[in-house]
Structure 1
């Protein structure tokens, strides 16, 4: 990769700019440029896309995205120490990399990008799940992005793709699978990062569906699943008490036994229940 863009290896970049990873920022740097290029390729054809990258750090994935042909990359980095290293990359790719020193939770990225847009990021551990939920919960659907290719702790990745009956199955799986097609495309050991985290990591690729997999009102579905999984060990007739006056009738109409528990219920049946609660069953 260094031979392609003429920039030094990442270890040298980190040493030059004094970029010691900060735990409070959830930083774990991925230094293998072969791996960052592989992750970039997993996002699909980037040549006709703008790309949003959150938490680029010293720019390993940024370099991969640009070398793989991304039309334009918006890199949002909260740590001001990383900006000079990212600006060095921007100089090698004139007009193709915009670096923003800011908080991804506050930056209006969609306003700075041109569709089609893909999001590709080694997300900081401390904000990864919150960002994912925001991207999956826009006021209107389809969203501003076409796909998300994101690095998480492996445990979080498994929650995103979990199926009914597993311990990892919960609201995050339902939210992701309702509106996207998510799959784990790469697993990485701790030693791939500096500093090495205590857990394995995984890359999840989520492709936006044109419309939700099953009809339901987002707010109602969110309320139903929140109540169900907040007391996931209870039977649904107990955990959903107060949701509707004729709750057990609605559960049965949705194909759900009132004595079942949340982790046993498929996305399709949760959506059916949400429609019945909203009076649209």
Structure 2
């Protein structure tokens, strides 16, 4: 993968702002009066420019589950988002993508911003805001065919400010075997952390069809250290799929009860579970 060494900003063919630096690649959407949209884009770019360097400066702290609070604005968001999930093992890095999206969106929504809708998509982890109306998202997609597995219809009254997805086939390592877990929460950082932990819980410990390797053997600087992460999932029976999803559903339900998330969708081998009632999740037609 080729990363940009310096921050870059440009427009996509469909008129959205794209911000890139190192592994961070954001698609920024803003709707409203043209002057307000232009101003929001400038604020997004300004907030984005120092993000990667600030995070790199604090990486040692962000890769451990316990330690002093970090100082950078995005790092503090990561810390605040993951701390409530204790005693589950989780480092602030579990919320990095969502926290970056939250940070840029917050800059766009400065007092008097005049926007009617805005969202920041960081590789599928999305911070969003809308003044009114409803937004429908295809979520919990099949990681191989990319077919959507469900839909989330989010209204301005639901309190959903973030959507994030995790799973063993994703861009980060997972301790579980979920094909995909999508969480909806009040912030993208909280959704990011929750999706990671729920996906970890969708699991069949010591199953012979599941291959695993030490995280630090795959990535020496992994925040997961010597923990075993999933590298392959073979044949599973229907009962085994049910058992793994039951484990993940129990964790998702506990997060809903604790107010950490609003809803979630869990997927394994074309079987899906929906948790939560604040946001309606529906199987799409003709799935």
**Computing the radius of gyration over CA atoms, which structure comes out larger, 1 or 2?**
1
Q: TM-score, normalised by structure 2?
A: 0.28
Larger proportion of strand: 2
Q: TM-score, normalised by structure 1?
A: 0.28
Larger proportion of helix: 1
